[in-house]
Structure 1
Amino acid sequence: MSKTIAFFPEAAFGPALNSVGIAQAVQALGHKAVFLSDPGFVAVYEGYGFEAHPVNLSAPMPPEQMAKFWEDFINGHIPNFRKSPYDQIDNYVKDCWTAIVDTAKWAQKDLPGVLDTIKPDLICVDNVILFPAIKQYGKPWVRIISCSENEIEDPKIPPHLSGCGAKDFACHDAYRARFNEVIKPIHDDFNAFLASTGEAAYPLGQFFEASPTMNLLLYPEAVKFEREHPLDPKQFQYLEGCVRTEKPYEVPTFAEKNDKPLIYVSFGSLGAGDTELLKRIIATIGTLPYRALVNVGDYKASYEDLPGNVVIESWFPQPSVIPQVDAVIHHGGNNSFTECLYFGKPAIIMPYVWDGHDNATRVDEIGHGFKMPRYDWTDADLAAKLDACINDPAMKARLAATSAHMQSQNGPKKAAAILDGIVTAGA
């Protein structure tokens, strides 16, 4: 019997497109997948053929302004990208959590009515904050963790956003202490909001909880952390990535070096605003024996006099591109992170914010690529790391094993089967 499954990802392409991948698999099982969406992302879901219902997460504004909100937010913080994760707590991280708490307050105005209209049998939420209306709706809800698995905390693993090494416990303690100190006024405000909705207060530093029904983590086996308290498989399932289906991509003919290895460079839709960094990477690659496809987002007009071995576009169907390349340079967003692992491609991660720091540290720790500073590097550094990505046999072997395991699991199909089990259990 067909059921209605609602997806509510946060307003960023990583979570949004992960949910698209799961929703595609859910529909293949005969259920109806619908999206609850920030107004600026409605068109994204509709572009994949899904029904999408707007939920205001901020003061209403024209759609084009809404779509640019986070882009402008990120661009305003570009100077802070040079700082360590610890030193970003006082600026980027604090501003982010302030904005995220505001989204929860705004969502509470619209969500009850939208849920009454859709009448979902199951709600899947991919966010870092609780929306009380979802918990209180009376139907099962599932949490999707599309960012690093350390969103589900454990005393033995690095705190979320810290970029600390797995065993660097002094780093863990310092980051947690500073985060809690800076975040306390924002957290107090959030707890007051929770009280106004009849929800209990969260402990300091916590803005969400695990679903009592099921929690789906995108992190694959190869990068999982060793926890002090292992996650119960009855409540937590690893999806081994969740790669969506995209239209095919044909690699273009380059003006130069058509027989050389192919690199893909992308800092995501938001990171594309860091045009000076992308221009520097393009210039360096122009001198190296490679070809490169570079995602420049909405800033294509900013680029002139490109080297003959570089092609830029405002957007690429990334899951169709990565299988065809030899290495990837990216920002550590979880889509890029898991897609590279899924297709067995080495990555150089230049993180700037959020879980990019965690993923960059992790890819280096497990020997599946390199963490590289975003600005403090030389042409020789980049050339050496690209050479290792393409020619290191041990790294290739590790990536091949990880890829084979992830592809055997089929994350979207696994997620859809789990969701199907939940909605049909009470049918």
Structure 2
Amino acid sequence: MAPINFVGPIMACIGIGEVLRDSGHRVVFAVRASWRKKLTEMGFSVEVIGDNETDQSTPVMDTAEQGVELIRDCMQNQSALQICFKRFSTMANILAICEADEPYYRDIIDRQRPDAIILDNLINLPSVVNSGCVWIKAVSDSPLMLDMCLEDSRLPPSLLGLSINDKSLWDYYRQQVNAIRYPVFKLFGDWFQSHGCPAPADNQLWFPSPYANFYLTPKELDYTDVRPMPDNFYQFDYYKRTVNEANEDVFELPKQLRQRSGKLIYLSLGSTNSADVDLMKRLVGLLAKSEHRIIVSKGINHDKYELADNMWGEKFVPQIKVLPIVDLFITHGGNNSVTECMYFGKPMIVLPLFWDQFDNAQRVEDKGYGIRLNPYECSEQQLLQSIDSLLNDNQLAEKLKKASKRIQTERQIERIPEMLMKLVKDPTRWLVDY
């Protein structure tokens, strides 16, 4: 497993890794040292990327506070193109990290000689492509991000949060976005060629694996109703943990919430976004006026603000255990959170802040599974009315119940061990020529 050093992709790879581990396979994670303890405790082997055993860095930012600054900078620009430019401008940092990490990946692959490599990264890595192993490209971001390798005029350009229902500005934005990202993508293409690999096509950041490509989204939110996917692209509804669920501890609602009336709402802005204390204070202030009960994932700055009387929260809240008991989820729209919410059949208010969260938020709203709001601008009335609208929508409740039942019944993730076994046994049979 070779995930980029962000929480989202690593958690997605843990979901895949658990299914493989529980099928009897040995799963090795190539990650930063800060993940060693958690992954080892989960029964995975760990190979450390980097020299420093205490290295906590991420490719783009060293601290959550730097992430908050980047997000605020993006959100202060009202132009979608300015936001897009800010995002792509951070990618030059990723290239430097990838260059520094390449020797570690090569060494790990040489020593471990894996049967298969699952790569969840913004780009392909030459060490993986040149390894001689079966390798799978996994995309744990919004499926619209597949336009980084499969641009399709039937869909809007990614990262801008554009609706599928309004095509009026698609061509304009696509031209502008391509102009913004072309120089950045060319840097990665040149780097890739310098390592003896073919470069992706123009305005593409990576090329698909010839073996298999995994992407993460429930069928209900996929774009296959607009465009079909190539044969070796495989959609998965979720990567959340599914094994031994019956044996997991049930989340016990804290006493102060048990003693109150009202529906139960869960607020989480993810590991980076929740570090924005001013934003968390703003949302807590708005939700304090609600008649409902709120569970808050407070984040790393949990001790820098207080919750209202109708709330309970901690630094980290076990999301997988909380979602089954709540009536509504207020989320930043990270892909793991959206898919987990759909798994449990909960309506959602999506407050996008960064990267693919805008696309996820718009897709949820377009498909009628929730409401998109601006976390910095939405009013008390907008937020509280949106909550009540979703909670009182009986048709939506039935729609979500149906989606949840399908997702939990099909359990698509359990196909992965058999798929990998077939690939490893006869890889040439599955090769696709691009």
Q: Do these two structures clear the TM 0.5 threshold for a shared fold by scoring above it?
A: yes
Is 1:206 the counterpart of 2:204 in the alignment?
yes
Distance 1:69 1:347, change over 3 A: same
Within the candidate set 66, 75, 84, 2:68 is matched to 75
Match of 2:370 in 1: 369
Distance 1:364 1:255, change over 3 A: closer
Quote the offset at 1:294 in angstroms: 0.9
Taking the TM superposition and a 5 Å limit, the aligned residue runs for 1:19-418 are 19-56=13-50, 62-64=54-56, 69=62, 71-77=64-70, 78-84=72-78, 85-91=80-86, 93-153=87-147, 154-226=152-224, 230-233=228-231, 235-245=232-242, 247-248=248-249, 249-254=251-256, 258-304=260-306, 306-418=307-419
CA contact (8 A) 1:11 1:37 kept: yes
Q: Distance in 2 between matches of 1:255 and 1:220?
A: 32
CA contact (8 A) 2:140 2:335 kept: yes
Unaligned runs of 5+ in 1: 1-6
Q: Distance in 2 between matches of 1:47 and 1:168?
A: 48
CA contact (8 A) 2:84 2:160 kept: no
Q: Distance in 1 between matches of 2:65 and 2:89?
A: 13
Q: Distance in 2 between matches of 1:65 and 1:100?
A: 12
Q: Distance in 1 between matches of 2:194 and 2:408?
A: 45
* Of 239-248 and 392-401, the range deviating more from structure 2: 239-248
Identical positions, percent: 27
Deviations 1:86-144 (A, max 9, x none): 221222x1233212222322222221111112211000011121101101100100111
Alignment coverage as a number of residue pairs:
416
* Of 174-183 and 31-40, the range deviating more from structure 2: 174-183
CA contact (8 A) 2:12 2:140 kept: yes
Distance 1:43 1:206, change over 3 A: farther
- Normalised to the residue count of structure 1, the TM-score between the two structures is 0.91
Match of 1:3 in 2: none
Q: Distance in 2 between matches of 1:101 and 1:174?
A: 28
* Of 204-213 and 99-108, the range deviating more from structure 2: 99-108
Q: Distance in 2 between matches of 1:326 and 1:371?
A: 17
Distance 1:320 1:222, change over 3 A: same
CA contact (8 A) 1:257 1:290 kept: no
CA contact (8 A) 1:158 1:165 kept: yes
Quote the offset at 1:200 in angstroms: 2.0
Distance 1:290 1:227, change over 3 A: closer
Q: Distance in 1 between matches of 2:342 and 2:76?
A: 27
Q: Distance in 2 between matches of 1:244 and 1:18?
A: 9
CA contact (8 A) 1:125 1:141 kept: yes
Deviations 1:318-366 (A, max 9, x none): 1111111010111110011111111100110010111100000000001
Deviations 1:215-273 (A, max 9, x none): 1111111011146652134x011111121257532221226862321111111101112
CA contact (8 A) 2:65 2:276 kept: no
Residue type at the aligned position of 2:348: A
CA contact (8 A) 1:40 1:64 kept: yes
- Root-mean-square deviation (CA, aligned residues, Å) is 2.3
CA contact (8 A) 2:32 2:55 kept: no
Q: Distance in 2 between matches of 1:158 and 1:122?
A: 33
Distance 1:82 1:411, change over 3 A: farther
The alignment partner of 1:329 has SS state of strand
CA contact (8 A) 2:4 2:120 kept: yes
Quote the offset at 1:66 in angstroms: 5.7
CA contact (8 A) 1:239 1:409 kept: no
CA contact (8 A) 1:37 1:53 kept: yes
Distance 1:55 1:64, change over 3 A: closer
CA contact (8 A) 2:144 2:157 kept: yes
CA contact (8 A) 1:107 1:131 kept: no
CA contact (8 A) 1:263 1:329 kept: yes
Quote the offset at 1:210 in angstroms: 1.3
Q: Distance in 2 between matches of 1:156 and 1:66?
A: 34
Match of 1:14 in 2: 8
Q: Distance in 2 between matches of 1:107 and 1:169?
A: 41
CA contact (8 A) 2:32 2:56 kept: no
- Normalised to the residue count of structure 2, the TM-score between the two structures is 0.90
Residue type at the aligned position of 1:179: V
The alignment partner of 2:104 has SS state of helix
Unaligned runs of 5+ in 2: 428-434
Q: Distance in 1 between matches of 2:66 and 2:34?
A: 14
Distance 1:361 1:268, change over 3 A: same
Q: Distance in 1 between matches of 2:139 and 2:401?
A: 25
The alignment partner of 1:217 has SS state of strand
